[in-house]
Amino acid sequence: MLKHVLLAGLFAMPIAGVAQSQTSAPVVDPQGRMGVGTLQPDPSSILDLSSTQRGALLPRLTDAQRNGIANPAKGLVFFALDSNEFQFNFGTPGAPLWMPILDSSNVGDFGWALLGNTGTNPAVNYIGTTDAQDMVLRTNATERMRVLSGGNVGIGTTTPSAKFEVSQVELGDAGRFVVNNAASSAQAVTATTNGTGNAVNATSGSGRALYGQRGAGSGLALGQIEAIRGDNTNGPGVAGTSNTAAGVYGASTASHGVWGVGLTTGNAGVLGRNDVVGGYGVWGQSAGGGTGVHGTSQIGDASQFEITNAASTGDAVRANQAGLGRGVYSVINNTSNIVAAVRGETNGGGYGVFGQATGNGNAGFFQISNPASTSSTVNVTTNGIGHGITVQLTNASNGARGVDVLQAGVGPGVFATSAGGNAVWGITSSISAAGVIGDNTFGEAVVGRNRGGNGVGAVVGRNDSSGYGVRGFNTKNGIGVIGQAGISGGTGVGGRFENVNAANGSDALQAATNGTGWAGNFTNVNNSSASRGVRIATTAGQGGNALTVANGTVAFSYQHPYASNTVIDDATLVVTTAGNVTIPTGPPIVDGAHVWVVNNAGAVVTVTNTTAGAFNINPGRAVELLFVSTVSGANWIPVQP
C-alpha cells in the first residue's frame, strides 16, 4: 500500500492550469523511493520525476548566492544565473569547487568535444595539465604518446631524452615521412639547427644509419654496410655543397674517410669538380702523418688527372709542400716491376718531365741507394733526331759546370759511346775556356778508348780554324798531354802525329818550350829492353834526311844502361867505365855501319880495335866510328878524331 506524502518545501513546483490527479502528488514506496508524476518510482532511483508536459526546475542562484551557501554538500546542483549554466560542487563542503555540467553549448569552454569545437582561443584554450604532471595519450588502454612535464615528447617511450623521440621495439619502421604529390618540390623531412650540433644524427647498431634512394635506385650491392648510403637511378648517390667548408667530409681512424668505386669505363670512383678560378676539384689534406689523397687500383690507374679544355693553361697535377717533406713521392714495391715509378709523356712540343727550383735546391735529383745495383741512375733514350740531353746555363755570369759528375769509385766519371758520331763533343766560343775539360787529382782527367776500328781515334780533337785540335796544358808540375800504350797487355802506340794531306807543308809534330827544359825528351825506361829511345826514319827511296839540325849543334849525353860497355844500342855505345873497350864487329854489324862512342866514364876511355890502333876518347866526348871490313878488317875507322 502506497503512502501519499506531501513534500512541502522540497519542490515548490505548482502546476498552474492543470487539474490535480492522483499521480501528480508525490508518493514514497516502502523502499523509500519517491515518485512525482508516477506511482511506481524506478527501482534504481531515489527520486523519479515523470511527466510528458513538464520538466524539473532546480534552484537558480547568482554567483554571490552560490558563494553564500554554508558548507555546500559535495555534488550539490543548481543553475548559475551569471554564467547561464548548471553547476555542481566537485570539491568538498569545506572547499567547494563549482564545476559546470557540460553540454553542447558550453563544452568548448570547459572541454573538447568529440565532434570538434568552435570559438576556441589558442591563448587560453589547450589540452593538457595545469600541474607538473606528464600528459599521456592512449589507445586500447595502452600508452602511445607521452608529453613530459618538462616538454619532451615521446612515442613508444615514457622517458624521451629529446624534444621529440620515437622508439620502436616492434618490427617495422619507427617513422616515415612521405610526399605523395609528384609535382611537389617540398621536402619530406627538413632538419635545421642554428647551433653547433648536428641537424640530423643517425645511429645504427648493425645496419645503415641513413639510407636515401631516388627513383628505383641503382640496384648495386657494395658488399658493405655503410653508415650513410645514397642510391640513385641516374644521378649522384650522395652530394654535398658548402660555401666556405667541405661539401663532403669523411674521416676514419682505421680505414678511408671517403671511398668511391667506379664500375664503368671512363667513370671515377670519386669525382671532384671546380668551377671557379683558384679552386680545387679534389683537395686531400692530412693533419697527422697520413696521406692527403690515396688512390689504389687492381689493374687500372690508381689515379688520373686530366684537363679536357685544349685552351687551358692550368696544371693537370699540382702539389704544394709547405713542410719539409717531398712535393711528390712515388714508390714501386713490386720487385718484379721494371717500369718507371714516375713517367712524364707529352704529345706536343713541351716537356715530358720538367723540374724547376726557385730557391737554392736542385731542379732534379736522381739517386740509387742500393750499393749492389748495376743500373744507371739516369737513362736517357731518344728515337728521334734530337739530342739525348741538352744542358743550358743561361746566366752569362755563371762560372759553374754545365755537367758535374762526382765518381767516388774507380769507374769513369763520364762515359759516352756512339755508333757513328761523336761520343763526346764540346763546343765553346771563349778563347779562355775549353769545349771539353777533365779534372783529376791523381788519375786521368779525360780518357778516350777505342775498342775496335783501325784508324779510328779514341779521343779526337778537331780544329776547323786556326786553333788547336787537341790542347793539353799543365799549371803545376805534371804533364799537359800524355799518350800511353800497353795497358792491359795492349801492343799499340802511345802517341802518333800524322799529316795525311800530301800538299800540306806544315809539320806533323812541333815541340816548343819557353822554359829551361828540353823541348823534347825521349827515354826508354825499360832496363831489359834494347829498343831505341828515339828512332827517326824516312820511307825507302825517299832520299831525304832522317834528321836535320836546322840551328845549333848536336850534343850527346847518354847514360849507357849496360854494365858490359860492349853492347851497341841504336848505333851508340855509351861507356861508363874508364879503361879499354873493344867495339863489337860481329853480326848484326855490317859494312857501312856507324857507331857513336860516348865517354861518360869521367876519365879517358881507349878503343882498342881501330885502324888508328889504340884510340883515346876524352871524358864527355863522343867519337863516330865507321866499319868497312874490306878496308879495315876487324877494325873501326875513326870518322872524327
pLDDT tens by residue, 454-509 = 666 666 767 777 667 777 777 778 777 777 778 778 787 878 888 888 888 888 88
Residue 596 reports pLDDT greater than 70: yes
d(CA 356, CA 589): 76
User: Which one is predicted more confidently, 80 or 409?
Assistant: 80
Task: Please state the domain extents for the chain.
Answer: 135-166, 572-638
- Show the 3-state SS of 498-537: CCCCCCCCCCCCCCCCCCCCCCCCCCCCCCCCCCCCCCCC
Domain 572-638 has CATH 2.60.120.1230: yes
Query: Which residues are registered as beta bridge partners of 617?
Result: 605
Residue 415 reports pLDDT greater than 50: yes
pLDDT band at 560 (very low <50, low <70, confident <90, very high): very low
On the CB side of 594, how many CA atoms lie within 13 Å of its CA? 6
d(CA 418, CA 424): 8
- Compute the average pLDDT of residues 421-439: 71
Contact by Cβ (8 Å): 240, 197: no
Determine the Cα angle at 558 with ends 556 and 561, to 5°.
155
User: Which one is predicted more confidently, 472 or 382?
Assistant: 382
d(CA 234, CA 287): 35
Looking at residue 11, its pLDDT comes to 41
Residue 564 reports pLDDT greater than 70: no
Mean pLDDT comparison of 5-14, 150-159, 407-416, 428-437, highest-scoring range? 150-159
User: Which one is predicted more confidently, 262 or 312?
Assistant: 312
In this prediction the pTM is 0.41
Residue 581 reports pLDDT greater than 90: no
pLDDT band at 17 (very low <50, low <70, confident <90, very high): very low
Residue 566 reports pLDDT greater than 60: no
pLDDT tens by residue, 273-320 = 777 777 777 777 777 667 777 777 777 777 777 888 888 888 878 778
pLDDT tens by residue, 192-209 = 889 888 888 888 777 777
Residue 179 reports pLDDT greater than 60: yes
What is the three-class DSSP state of 48?
strand
Residue 554 reports pLDDT greater than 70: no
